Structure 1
Amino acid sequence: MYDFKRFRDRLQEKADNPAARPAIYVAMGDSVTHGIMEDGVVEHERIYHQLLRKRVAKRFPNSILNVINSGVSGDTAVRSRERWAHDVICYKPDLVTIKFGLNDAHGGPAGVEPYIGAIRDLVRLVRSETEADLLLLTPSMMMKRDNPFISEGHRRHIPAFTKLYEDGHLLRYVEALRAYAAEDGLPLLDVYAMWEKMEAEGVDIHTRLSNGINHPDRPFHEELAEALEAVLFADVPASSR
């Protein structure tokens, strides 16, 4: 099991020495990481990485965790290459999470290899240029059919997203990321599996999409923050400092 020792040691170092450099977490990704919710709404606080920061503060009340939101709405793993230096590496992070796939999946089967190639290159760059712990996140689910939660301004996108689901493209990207993480021994938080479980339990996933298309609602960001905490502190009691 990957223990995220660097991240946890840095939190403890800051707790023990107020003059030490704060621990830094860079959340890299697309609109979900950016904080896009409903049409035209950006959430700055109830987003998974900020909610994780609050959970960490309860574990380390005398430490400081600075969270860098490096999510960009509409971005893909491939397009994000141009911002790796200024959105990830320059911060000298102690933890980096990488969460792409929602936009990448529109590339169809031909885009899978470039998608994994970009994530692989980003992982190598983070490993070579920083001492950060790394955690990959699969994308969440997207819409499967028309639903009443889609705004009028977004209804023009329904055919493209419905076809994407029918062609199985998003799941194809999820499975490719799962395989890459397993082959390279990288820690992976399977966010998509959380949605699969939800659906298996009878939940209409469209009720959990804030825009009815591809943005998880605020309660899911709470669930994701809880899942992140469980992975990062898997062998540490909640009361530990």
Structure 2
Amino acid sequence: MRTTHSVIFSTLLLLGIAPSAHANLSSTVTLTSNYLFNGITLTQDDPALQPSLDWVSDSGWYLGTWGSNVSFAENTDREVDFYTGYYTDLGNHWAMDLGIAHYTYYGSSDSSAFDYPEAYIKVSYGNTKLSYWYAKDYFGAGGGHYIVMLTQTIQLTDGLSLILSGDRSTSTDTSKFLRDNDGTYHHWRIALISEWLGAKWTAAFDDTDLELDDLGEPTFSLSVAKTFNWL
């Protein structure tokens, strides 16, 4: 899906947010060896190209869209997400991010059955972040689902960071969206991130305790991301 500047600006006006000189419009293009979603591959371990378009104001409001190729379901080959939210610095090293996202899927007339909205809140203190996401119709299956994640960033050198994260995914109705027997699984990730040649390079290892066949297996991945500023 192609999103132009005029589409973003029209959406901002509809939301009552006027573009101004005190805002930033940027695109980030990411190439990754594997699109992992909470530790589960959505590309059958194949590479993915993932562009985004983001508007961020100095007041903390933001709006954006992000896309990727996918192959987790027959005849579904694209994902396009839309999101908006508000980020604020609370002082004394505390910050909060509140928002909503809508995941949409394309490729056939049946692909939209996977579409679903999600709300999230992220609270951080220094380099530690606690995040929570909730969807009442996860992947269009009709059941609720929430994820709690703890992330720690460790600055190793000026240009190298280590990011450690762990999260718990819980389906509130396993008859709608299957997980393990109790509807939960855990995912952990170790990532090294470096800035080099004007791009962000990431090497990561993901694993889960998910017991479903061929899902959530130990996975190494590599990605490179380049950001282009338009405003």
Same fold (TM over 0.5): no
Question: TM-score w.r.t. structure 1 length?
Answer: 0.31
In the superposition, the TM-score normalised over structure 2's length comes to 0.32
| Structure showing the higher strand proportion among its residues | 2
